[in-house]
Structure 1
Amino acid sequence: MPVTPHRPGPNEVREEFALMTGNASNHRTVAVIGGGQAGLSISYWLQQRGIDHLVFEKRTAAHTWETQRWDTFCLVTPNWQCQLPGHPYEGADPDGFMKKDEIVRYLKGFVAKVNPPIREGVSVTRVAPRAEGGFDVATSEGDFTADEIVVASGGYHTPIIPRMAEKLPKSVTQIHSEQYRNPAQLPEGAVMVVGSGQSGAQIAEDLHLAGRKVHLAIGDAPRCARFYRGRDVVAWLADMGYYEMGVDEHPLREGVRDNTNHYVTGRDGGRDIDLRKFASEGMELFGALEDFEHGELRFRDNLARSLDAADQTYNGINAAIDKHIAEAGVEAPPPSRYEPVWTPGEPRLSLDLAASGIASVIWCIGFRPDFRWLDVSVFNGAGHPKHRRGVTAHPGVSFIGLPWLHTWGSGRFGAVGRDAEHVVAKIAERLGSERAPLAMAG
């Protein structure tokens, strides 16, 4: 009578592979690098599928929201968009915007629900493919091996501070946006904020509302309305399907990943950020900061163009909402168009540092990615990973939590869980097909 050959189960297969690699105690099927909301979402879905894994986090789970945000920080998207897997927002204010302490509590609740297998305080120093398959994972706690790698460390690693900062006098305090907490931490005197993306615009507002003299060197960030025609703009865009649009459907295709986010705020229940209004109230606006020479800050002649471009985007988004309302036959208050409340005069291309009383500079010009520890050829010339919805061309290497990984919400609480589910499904497919020959061996 023929005997049906024994086909090892998943745990037996993992043990067999671990023994083949000579590292049974430190082998995992999946190594997840990063313990923020992206890595935790991966852990959630891996647990749903019963796939063993280990999360490496160099600090503590989801720490950045507590350690790298200013005191008045709040979400810029409404709370109802917080949809981490198994952990949707369930508070009393779905249309509001969680403040820093609320965000931290929300995330700590997520950590408790996921209860991930995590090594906190452990840095990953190198990941490299093994000749026999899988990956070597070198960490500050020792060496591990894994069949699959999920990079969940985001794309914001190294704060950008230009070399020109070295020219500024030692008497001027310089910090990056990730170090800013509140106006009281800065010395007395005026503050130069460099950059007008979400962080720069909101930090400039925070200082302005505190009564500090602010000089703002703006960039090319667009802006949008907080509320329009009776609703949050985010709600209109959700109805229009914009948050479901994938990179492949976007007119800019992968170029959208290089876009700067619109500046707006959820502070005090949510409102527009209008740099022109700030200027009319005494904030000094300049074009992009280019250099510091002979005691003077030098600026590009682009202030008027940048303000106009930001307003054009603002009005363009509202016009798209107008079209949607008309086509859908939705009842809504009448449309409107933003008209400038302030316009710059003659371009000011330089500013005497000492005469202006500037005592501190806050660099709000973003971060650079740093994936030097990942010794796998999956990067483009700018050092960004090449992938399709987080899955790279190198078998076993995936990314999660990057801006526009798939949709606009990929780098936020709104869609990172859905992206993680997709990545884990692809991992499960690979494990199922690639383990079959190994399971039948011998």
Structure 2
Amino acid sequence: MSHPYGGRSHYSVVIVGGGQAGLSLSHCLQQRGIDHLVIEKRSLVHTWRTQRWDSFCLVTPNWQCQLPGWGYIGNDPHGFMVKDQINEWLAGFVEHVKAPAIEGVTVERVFRVPGAGGREHERFTVQTDAGLYTADQVVVASGGYHKPIVPRLAEKLPTDVAQFHSAQYRNPAQLPEGAVLVVGCGQSGAQIAEDLHLAGRKVHLATGNAPRCARFYRGREVVDWLADMKYYDMPVTEHPLREGVRDNTNHYVTGRDGGRDIDLRRFALEGMELYGLLEGFDGGRFEFQPNLRDNLDRADDTYNRINASIDRHIAGQGIDAPPPSVYTPVWEPPEERTRLDLAAAGITSVVWCIGFSPDFAWVDAPVFNGSGAPVHLRGVTNEPGLYFLGLPWLHTWGSGRFSGVARDAEFLAEAIERRKTERRDARTEEMPLRGLHAA
């Protein structure tokens, strides 16, 4: 573990988290000459190396990879980088930024220390397993995906059933022979189910309320259309759901093999078994809600609604494009199956793809709502000098992605610089008063 700036313990800014968000902010602060320290629990950008399966690829086109001073540099801007390419690109970003960082250090608590001269003289203490640091300002850039979610019903499964969270899944060969139950059909669940399906495994998929979208429509990538429509510039404050959009499940689609739709109905035609929401396990049987048809219909409604918005854009702009279309279901559930016998189905493994929960218990500050999520406006909290960065929909759709974090980092860097200047000016104004009192 190396210590920037000769092992000093006080910094103007401490950034907790060395992923793309923390490094993006480091780049922006270096541009402003603001001293800072990045503290990373594992290694810089480690999540992309350690929590992605072997066939993982981006679901957004390469041209959207735009970190500060480090855009996509390959020859396939409309392609989708695979895992090794992503990590190679990120390794270049790490070298480009050269952040003052320490790795393998866990932040255990962040709290404000009262200052003798009032609020402007207060500091944050950053308590780690490698010692104490202090900072005038702190940025939490550790992401929002901390604890893999596995339901308590997992404890009821027989011990000979192998269980994995999506963060642990690597490839079909990792799982024992036999059928697999994949729980969850968001981006990870749908893609992992497809990965197993393409490998010839018998897959049972418990669906949820995840929406889906087209990969290509009317001659172009859907992301290209939405970019032209300024969807990715829409701030959360203008979204119809406002902050509620942060709780939405991501649309399932894939960039695999050049990009394509993921249609669970087509998987069903090919032999994948689909069910509604998993809600229990009892007597050797999984229990599901009878809502498979509703889940599929809602996903298709979103698919068609996005395409319809593109139709309106094309018509409004007078764009010459291939004709519009509406998705028609290729398969309908013949019945709602609410039970699945584990032994009879030959299920030997379960992959939980129901996401992660945030864990900010180590941030000792009154900035959280009743569900434990930070309350902020574009990453700025009501606790002066405390910020968040890299969270989904922090400001726009791209805030937690390669496409929008640079804009958010630049905004916070400006806020940090402004507060740093205000603190300095306040202290300067106080100096003559101190001299008067001394006289």
TM-score (norm 1): 0.94
The counterpart of 1:186, out of the listed 165, 169, 175, is: 175
1:61 aligns with one of 29, 39, 44: 44
Residue in 2 that maps onto 1:106: 89
User: Helix, strand or coil: the match of 1:201?
Assistant: helix
What is residue 262 of structure 2 aligned with on the other side? Answer: 273
Q: 2:78 aligns with which of 95, 106, 122?
A: 95
Distance across 2 between alignment mates of 1:68 and 1:259: 21
1:436 deviation in Å? 1.4
Partner of 1:83: 66
What is the CA-CA distance between 1:25 and the residue it aligns to? 3.0
Amino acid in structure 1 at the alignment position of 2:126? V
Report the secondary structure of 1:179's partner residue: coil
Gaps of 5+ in 2: 1-6, 116-121, 435-439
Q: Does 1:47 align with 2:30?
A: yes
After TM superposition, which residue ranges in structure 1, 4 or more long, deviate above 3 angstroms? none
Distance in 2 (alpha carbons) for counterparts of 1:325 and 1:346: 39
Q: Which residue of 2 aligns with 1:236?
A: 225
Q: Secondary structure in 2 aligned to 1:122?
A: coil
Q: Given the alignment, which residue of 345, 350, 364 partners 1:356?
A: 345
Distance in 1 of aligned mates of 2:319 and 2:171: 42
Q: Does 1:29 align with 2:18?
A: no
TM-score (norm 2): 0.95
The aligned amino acid for 2:323 is P
Given candidates 115, 119, 123, the residue that maps to 2:102 is 119
> How far apart, in 1, do the equivalents of 2:366 and 2:165 lie?
31
- The 3-state SS of whatever aligns with 2:182 is strand
Given the alignment, which residue of 36, 57, 69 partners 1:74? Answer: 57
Q: Report the Cα distance in structure 2 between the residues aligned to 1:346 and 1:206, rounded to whole angstroms.
A: 26
**Correspondence 1:148-163 to 2 at 5 A:** 148-163=137-152
Task: Give ranges in structure 1 of 5+ residues lacking alignment.
Answer: 1-23
2: CA distance between counterparts of 1:148 and 1:195? Answer: 39
1:165 shift after superposition: 0.4
**What SS does structure 2 have at the residue aligned with 1:335?**
coil
SS for the counterpart of 1:191 is strand
Q: Secondary structure at the match of 1:306?
A: helix
Q: Aligned pairs, how many?
A: 419
RMSD value, Cα: 0.8
**2:368 counterpart residue number:** 379
- Residue 197 of structure 1 corresponds to 186
Name the structure 2 match of 1:392: 381
* Residue 413 of structure 1, CA deviation: 0.3
Whole-angstrom distance in 1 between the partners of 2:189 and 2:371: 24
Distance in 1, Cα, partners of 2:270 & 2:380: 48
Aligned residue number for residue 156 of structure 2 = 167
Q: Which residue of 1 aligns with 2:417?
A: 428
Q: Distance in 2 between matches of 1:439 and 1:269?
A: 59
Give the whole-Å Cα distance in 1 for the aligned partners of 2:93 and 2:73.
12
The letter of the residue matching 1:73 is F
Displacement after TM superposition at 1:273 (Å): 0.2
Among residues 326, 331, 353, which one is paired with 1:342 in the alignment? 331
Return the letter of the residue paired with 1:343.
Answer: E
Q: Distance in 2 between matches of 1:261 and 1:313?
A: 12
Q: Within 2, Cα distance between the matches of 1:34 and 1:148?
A: 14
Q: Helix, strand or coil: the match of 2:274? A: strand
Q: 1:222 aligns with which of 201, 211, 231?
A: 211
Q: Report the residue type matching 2:305 in the other structure.
A: G
Sequence identity (%): 67
Shift of 1:439: 3.7
Equivalences for 1:240-279 in 2 at 5 Å? 240-279=229-268
Please give the secondary structure, in 1, of the residue aligned with 2:167.
helix
Quote the Cα distance in structure 2 between the aligned partners of 1:278 and 1:25: 57
Report how far residue 345 of structure 1 moved.
Answer: 1.1
Tell me the amino acid that sits aligned with residue 121 of structure 1: G
> Which residue identity is paired with 2:238?
E
* Alpha-carbon separation, structure 2, partners of 1:439 and 1:260: 49
User: Of 407, 418, 422, which aligns to 1:418?
Assistant: 407
Return the alpha-carbon distance in structure 2 between the equivalents of residues 60 and 332 of structure 1: 46
**Secondary structure of residue in 1 paired with 2:257:** helix
* Shift in Å, 1:438: 2.0
User: Which residue in the other structure is 1:18 paired with?
Assistant: none
User: What letter corresponds to residue 288 of structure 1 in structure 2?
Assistant: L
Q: Which of 259, 265, 284 is 2:273 aligned to?
A: 284
SS in 1 for 2:316: helix
